[in-house]
Amino acid sequence: MPGTHPWFGVDTPPAGRSVSAPKVKQILRHELRDCGTRLQSEVLALQPLVAAREAYDELFSAARALLRLLERAVREAAPHRAGRLKALDADQEPYPFFVADEDFEIRYAAAMARPDVVIGADGPKFIEFNVSGTFGGPTEIHLFTEAWTRIYGGPDTAPFHGHEPFAARAALYRDVCAELGLPPAVALLGSRLDRPGAESARYYELEAGYYRRHGLASEFLEPADLTAGSGDELRYRLLHRYFAVDDWRDLGIGLEPVHRAVAQGAVLFPPQSSYLIANKKTLAWISEGQPWMTDEDRDLVARYLPWTRLVHPRKVEWNRGHHDLAALLLGNRHEFVLKKAIGMMGLQVTLGPYATDQEWGTAVAAALADGDSIVQEYVEPGRYRMEMSREAGPQPQYVDIAPVLSPVLFGEAAAGCWARYHSTGQAGIIGASGFGATENVLLAARDLPPRTARE
């Protein structure tokens, strides 16, 4: 489908860029330097993605509503953590930092979330929810927003604006500190090894610096920095968990300092129960329906969530018919996507429309055998007409990209919207780390004329 999808509500790229294309590239590379952010070496976007304010706000309101359903689905699965793990058929071994206070664990489990959304034929479809403290997006949103605002003339004249992620997360941490009776302070616990291509800790230090400027004591800490000097005194009681246990194990980063800090009373945030909500089986639960769901809940899910089911030998209802699931998947490859229940960065995903018959058959057989996957109806992403630089020559080019949009929520507060896409315009799996996607930000239009009817 050529041109920008009507959902965005904006027909043409925003007017008013105050600098040339070469200068745009220079500013972007400077602002995003040493953060491991994926930018094409020669072909760069010359604008952010922009949506009408109503469309922009819809992403956050729908994300909040769906997140509440996912959180409740985990709560309703069992009264305690052990039962919830069992309901998800999940092993506790990958989650060594559960806290004894289960009420605290589940109450804040959904405190930080970043769903991934494609714009389908009838609007936004939420294809997964990343719920943790480790997902990408906040720093990228902060930097891209600052860069585009500067490129388009400054905060008073730029034809768009967006939410500030660091402000939303700082407000959440002030609330958590107040509840725990702690001074307003949080350390960002991570590792530079988690940012391939970055030579410093700038990615984390940008956020810590923002917090300090707004009344929240903060530093970026590597595991070895958790205690003061050679002693055992904790430098911070509240630690933002900027790491995934499996990632650190793969990188050879020892967890012993973290265990010692927790034993001394440090609080890792967000709690590890966030991963229970992020388990993609929860999407299948609410898509298929739960006894506690109201008609309004079911309507919300039908509107914003693709048809999603647990994969195991069974009968399912799809497209107003009843089917054997195995036969349905094997006979309709182009209609479906297979995903492992636990996965990230586009890994452990098989897109039926982009797989061969042999690849799809193998993936279906594996999913049916292991019982740890979901299937979703494939959503063809709508396009956005993006103004981009050329590899050679000063004149821009226009490419109809297929973006994945990622609205961020901190304590249910809107915290900006990350965007990734292939600069060639191709669809498929969109991931900045493993699949070479380019990063950007979605902003809300301000003082732009309303969208006109497309021919």
Q: How confident is the model at residue 424 (pLDDT cuts 50, 70, 90)?
A: confident
Beta bridge partners of 324: 315
Contact 59, 444 (CB under 8 A): no
pLDDT of residue 67: 98
Asked, for residue 228, whether it belongs to a domain, the answer is yes
How far is residue 246's CA from residue 414's CA, in Å, rounded to a whole number?
A: 29
Residue 449 burial (10 A CB sphere; 0-12, 13-18, 19+): exposed
Do 344 and 327 fall within a single domain? yes
**Contact by Cβ (8 Å): 2, 450:** no
346 pLDDT tier (thresholds 50, 70, 90): low
Neighbouring-strand partners of residue 260: none
Tell me the average pLDDT of the chain.
90
Whether residue 298 lies inside any domain: the answer is: no
Domain finish residue from 330, 347, 377:
377
394 and 429 both lie in a single domain: yes
Same domain (yes/no): 389, 371: no
pLDDT given at position 454: 32
Indicate whether 370 and 393 sit together in one domain: no
Does the pLDDT of residue 265 top 80, yes or no? yes
Q: Which of residues 355, 377, 399 is at a domain's end?
A: 377
**Which pLDDT score is estimated for 390?**
78
The verdict on residue 300 lying in a domain is no
The reply to whether 113 and 150 lie within a common domain is: yes
| Two tokens, residue 273 | 């129960």
Q: Provide the pLDDT for residue 40.
A: 63
Question: Based on the domain organization, do 363 and 404 belong to the same domain?
Answer: no
CA gap 130, 274 in Å, rounded: 9
* Rounded Cα distance, 276 and 287, in Å: 17
Q: Give dist(CA 218, CA 60) in Å, integer.
A: 27
Q: What is the pLDDT of residue 431?
A: 54
The verdict on residue 178 lying in a domain is yes
pLDDT at 297: 98
Top-confidence residue, 100 or 190: 190
What's this model's pTM, rounded to 2 decimal places? 0.93
In angstroms, the CA 350 to CA 336 distance is: 9
454 belongs to a structural domain: no
Give 213-229 pLDDT, tens digit per residue: 999 999 999 999 998 76
The domain that holds 328 is classified in CATH as 3.30.1490.20
Does residue 386 share a domain with residue 367?
no
Query: Is residue 90 located within the same domain as residue 158?
Result: yes
Which two tokens mark 233? 């005194």
Stretch 162-191: mean pLDDT, rounded? 97
- Give the number of C-alpha atoms closer than 13 A to the C-alpha of residue 143, restricted to the C-beta side: 27
Task: Tell me what pLDDT residue 284 has.
Answer: 98
Closest by alpha carbon to 22, among 48, 54, 44?
44
Evaluate whether residue 291 is within a structural domain: no
In the block, residue with structure tokens 């969530």: 305
Last residue of a domain, one of 327, 343, 377: 377
Is the pLDDT at 318 greater than 70? The verdict is: yes
Q: Read off the tokens for 160.
A: 């768009």
In a domain, 341, yes or no: yes
- Under the banding of pLDDT at 50, 70 and 90, the label for residue 392 is low
In the predicted model, what is the mean pLDDT of residues 68-77? 97
Q: Which residues pair with 374 in a beta bridge?
A: 310, 339
Range of the domain at 353: 307-377
Do 257 and 318 share a structural domain? no
- The number of domains in the chain is 2
106 and 38 inside one domain = yes
Query: Is there a single domain that holds both residue 256 and residue 365?
Result: no
Cβ pair 30, 22 in contact under 8 A: no
State pLDDT tens for residues 24-48. 988 999 999 988 787 766 788 999 9
What span, in angstroms and rounded, lies between the C-alpha atoms of 226 and 234?
6
**Distance between CA 4 and CA 8 in Å, rounded?**
7
Give 48's Cβ-side CA count (13 Å radius). Answer: 32
414 belongs to a structural domain: yes
352 shares a domain with 252? no
- Judge whether 133 and 110 are in contact, CB under 8 Å: no
